[in-house]
A and B are shown apart, each in its own frame.
Chain A
Amino acid sequence: MTSKRHASLPFTTAAVAFAIASGLSCDPVHSEGVDRLGSDPSGRKNGPTHRPGQPCLVCHGGQGPGNAVFSMAGTVYRDVNSDVPVQDVRVVLTDAFNTRVAAVTNEAGNFYLVESQFAPAFPVTVLLCYGASCDPKDTAASVVQPMKTHIGREGSCSGCHVEPSSNKSPGRVYLCTTQQATGDFPPLCTSLGATK
C-alpha cells in the first residue's frame, strides 16, 4: 500500500508541474490580442509582406505564434488618407544611446527589425526618408518625414498608429504631407500614385 502510494508521487508531482507550466504559458491577454487580428485582410501567405498595417509584435513579440521576434516593425503608407504602401522607404531609428539603425520597406510597405539587429534602449526617435539623397533640403530628390514624438516602449507602429485617426491615434504611418508653399504633394510623392 505504502509503496503504491510512493509510486504515484512522481506522477502527481509531474501532473502538478505540468498544470502550473500550462497556466504560466497561457496569457489570455496575448491570446485575445492574437485572436482579435483575425484572418489576414491582405490574403497574403505568412511572410514579410503579410498583414500590412497590423500590429506586428502581437505575434512577433516573443510570445508567438510568429517565430521571428521583432523589436520594431510597421507599415508605411503614401499619406495619411492613403491605402497605397510605399516601398524603399528608409526607416531610421535612433535609441537613447544614439544607436542608429535603418530598415527598408518592402512592396507591402512593411519593415521589421529583429532583436539581434536592434535591441533599443527607449525612447526611440524615428525618421522616414525616401529618394536618392535623404536630404531634407533636397526636396526634389527626397522626402524626409520625422515622427514628431518619440516611441516610449511600443515596437509595433500600429500599436499607436491605429486607423482611423482619433483623439487617441494620429492614424497610419505616412510618408507624404502637402508642401506648405504650394499645398501639393512633393514630386516624388505624386509619382507614388493616387491617395486611395
Chain B
Amino acid sequence: MSRRMSRRTSGSTRVTLRVMFGALLVSAVGQACSQYHADDRVTVQTPGSTSFRLVGIMLDRRCGSLDCHGATQRNMRLYGEEGLRLDPGDQPGSSETTNAEILENFHAVVAVEPELFTKVVTEKGAHPERLTLVRKARGLEAHLGGTLFVAGDDEDACFVSWLGGTTNEAICTRAIAALDPLLDVK
C-alpha cells in the first residue's frame, strides 16, 4: 500500500515538474520576444566604403557569381560587372561595376555581423576569423561554396588589410587579375 502511495506521489511530482518546466519555457520565450524593439539601432565602425572599392570588386569576382552570392536569395548579396546588376537596365557583362554596386556590397559585408565587425575593426583587424565571412571563405566553417581564401593568400590579405584600416591595393589588384578565367584549352 505504502509502495503504491509513493509511486503515486512520484508520479504527481513528475507532472508538477513538467508543468513548471513548461511554464518556465513559455515565460523565457515570452521574455526573449518582449526584448525586441523595432527602433533598436547598431552603430557600426567600419574601415570606410572608399577604401572598400577594390575589396568589393575582388569579393564580387570571387564570391558573387550568379549561382552564389550573386543570387537574389542570398542575404550577403554581391553586385558587380559580370554578376548580379543593381540597375534593372544593366546586364551581367554589359558595363563596369558601378559605385552604387560597390556601396551595396559594402553594406552587405558590414551587415552580416555588425557588432562583431565593429569589434574586429576597432582592434585593427586582429583575429579576423572571428567573422563568419572570413571563416566561411577560409573553409573553417561549413560553406557550400567551399574554401575560397587561404589565410595569407592575395584574396585573404586584400580583405584582411581592409579590416585593418589600410587596404593593400597592390595585393587586391593582383587578386582581381588572378580571378580571370583560365584561357589555356589544350
- Which A residues contact B (CB, under 8 angstroms)? 92, 94, 96, 121-123, 125-127, 129, 134-136, 144, 146-154, 159-160, 165-171
What are 20 residue pairs bridging A and B, where the CB atoms are less than 8 Å apart in the complex?
Answer: A122-B145, A123-B146, A134-B185, A135-B186, A136-B185, A146-B181, A146-B182, A146-B183, A149-B82, A150-B181, A152-B67, A153-B145, A167-B87, A167-B92, A168-B66, A168-B85, A170-B66, A170-B91, A170-B92, A171-B91
Taking the closest CB of chain A, its distance from the CB of B58, in whole angstroms, is 13
B48 sits at the interface (CB 8 A):
no
**How many chain B residues touch the partner (CB < 8 A)?**
29
Task: Tell me which residues across on chain B come within 8 A of A122, comparing CB atoms.
Answer: 145-146
What 3 pairs between A and B have smallest CB-CB spacing? A154-B67, A152-B68, A167-B85
Chain B residue nearest to A127 (CB atoms) is B185
What distance in Å separates the Cβ of B161 from its nearest Cβ neighbour in chain A? 23
For residue B83, CB closer than 8 A to chain A, the reply is yes
In the complex, what residue of chain B is closest to A102 when comparing beta carbons?
B185
Known contacts: A153-B67, A169-B66. The answer to whether A125 contacts B182 by CB under 8 A is yes
**B31 CB to nearest chain A CB (Å):** 33
Q: Is the CB of B86 within 8 A of A134?
A: no
Of the candidates A94, A149, A166, A171, the one whose C-beta lies within 8 Å of that of B182 is A94
Q: Contact at B185–A129, with CB atoms within 8 Å?
A: yes
Distance A92 CA – B185 CA, assembled complex (angstroms): 7
Give the distance in Å from the alpha carbon of A127 to the alpha carbon of B184 in the complex: 9
**Which of B's residues lie within 8 Å of A, judged by CB?**
61, 63, 65-68, 72, 82-93, 144-146, 148, 179, 181-183, 185-186
Q: Do the beta carbons of B185 and A152 come within 8 Å of each other?
A: no
From the candidates A148, A153, A169, name the one contacting B181 in the complex (CB within 8 A).
A148
Q: Choose among B84, B146, B181 the residue that contacts A126 (Cβ–Cβ < 8 A).
A: B181
Closest to A168 in B: B84
Chain B's closest residue to A156 (CB) is B67
Q: Which residues of A contact B82 (CB under 8 A)?
A: 148-149
**B146 and A167 contact, CB distance less than 8 A:** no
In the complex, the answer to whether B186 meets A134 with C-beta atoms within 8 Å is yes
Q: Say how far A15's CB is from chain B's closest CB, in angstroms.
A: 28
Shortest CB-to-CB span from A155 to chain B, Å, is: 9
Q: Contact at A168–B181, with CB atoms within 8 Å?
A: no
Which of B65, B88, B90, B92 is within 8 Å of A123, CB to CB?
A: B65
Could you tell me if A127 and B182 are in contact, using CB atoms closer than 8 angstroms? Answer: yes
A166 & B88 in contact (Cβ 8 Å cutoff): yes
